[in-house]
A = this chain, B = another copy of it.
Amino acid sequence: MSEPLFDTLAIIGPGLIGSSIMRAAREQGAVRTIVTCSRSPETRQRVTELGIADKVVETNAQAVEGADLVIVCVPVGVCGTVAEEIAPHLKEGAIVSDVGSVKGAIVRDMGPHLPGNVHFVPAHPVAGTEHSGPDAGFAELFDGRWCILTPPEGTDAQAVDRLAKFWRLLGANVEVMTPDHHDLVLAVTSHLPHLIAYTIVGTADELETVTRSEVLKFSAGGFRDFTRIAASDPTMWRDIFLANKEAVLEMLGRFNEDVSALTKAIRHGDGDALFEQFTRTRAIRRGVSS
């Protein structure tokens, strides 16, 4: 095992992602000491029982004292408040990061609170499951997944490099892009699919002619994937849609146009149009130019 990349890591929010980072960081020897925090006595006790942190404190401010790397792992909607809370307690030269699925809003909400003597490098590990909480985490969550870093203009390149090394050590591939481009890419690869999955599962559940038990029983035909996606954390996803509103509405508009075209083809019995569309999307999966 090589020398730790950071002395002390503080994880604000020991949920699925936060607790997975702690597990992976310890397994890889990426840091010397891991501190986390929770206002809830139950969560503090559970994290202590799990033994995934060296120190479990009560407040965000306590957690970041002396930390070299601070990763905020809370829903996007409260990241700004957390930044305000921790700002006065941050160690000079510390790297402050997050794991939010939206990056423009994070830069806007967290950035202004952070002092000039720390390095702010927002990040988004594109990984997760439909489960939540400290028990749901596991060290291999980031293996072979992408972690996107979106440093605002003027961020220290060495700080970006150190955080990239950290994520690579945890098993992730790292890519750097602007916050705005990140939000467009994720709107289509993640936010739109989630919104559609949430919708379709709701639609199915409101049918008078087909029971819920039938829907679940015969879900192997495609529906099952949607129920898994639609079981993701409601708070996290509410915040994502509010924070990435413009890009999501743009993708929804395009999606709706495309649904209308296919609906029309079905209504008019236009088999050729359907066949053409389905052939094209199949080629995309295979990574073949159509």
**Among A54-62, A105-113, A152-160, A193-201, the stretch in contact with B:** A193-201
CB distance from A108 to the nearest CB of B (A): 15
Whether A225 pairs with B229 at a CB distance below 8 angstroms is: yes
| A136 close to chain B: CB less than 8 A | no
Whether B205 pairs with A280 at a CB distance below 8 angstroms is: yes
Please, could you name 19 A-B residue pairs with CB atoms under 8 Å apart, sorted by A? A127-B220, A146-B218, A185-B214, A189-B218, A194-B221, A197-B222, A198-B278, A199-B259, A202-B277, A202-B280, A206-B254, A225-B229, A231-B281, A232-B278, A234-B279, A237-B278, A238-B278, A242-B271, A245-B266
Chain B residues, CB < 8 A from A266? 195, 241-242, 245, 248-249, 252
With known contacts A190-B218, A275-B235, A200–B255 Cβ distance under 8 A: yes
| A1 close to chain B: CB less than 8 A | no
Whether A189 pairs with B221 at a CB distance below 8 angstroms is: yes
CB distance from A156 to the nearest CB of B (A): 25
A229 in complex: contacting residue of B190, B222, B274, CB < 8 Å: B222
Chain A positions within 8 Å of B, measured between CB atoms, are 77, 101, 126-128, 130, 145-146, 148, 175, 181, 184-186, 188-207, 209-210, 212, 214-223, 225-232, 234-235, 237-239, 241-242, 245, 248-249, 251-252, 254-256, 258-259, 262-263, 266-267, 269, 271, 274-275, 277-282, 284-287
In the docked arrangement, what's the CA distance between A274 and B237, Å? 8
Chain B residues, CB < 8 A from A219? 189
Whether B215 pairs with A188 at a CB distance below 8 angstroms is: yes
In the docked arrangement, what's the CA distance between A217 and B185, Å? 10
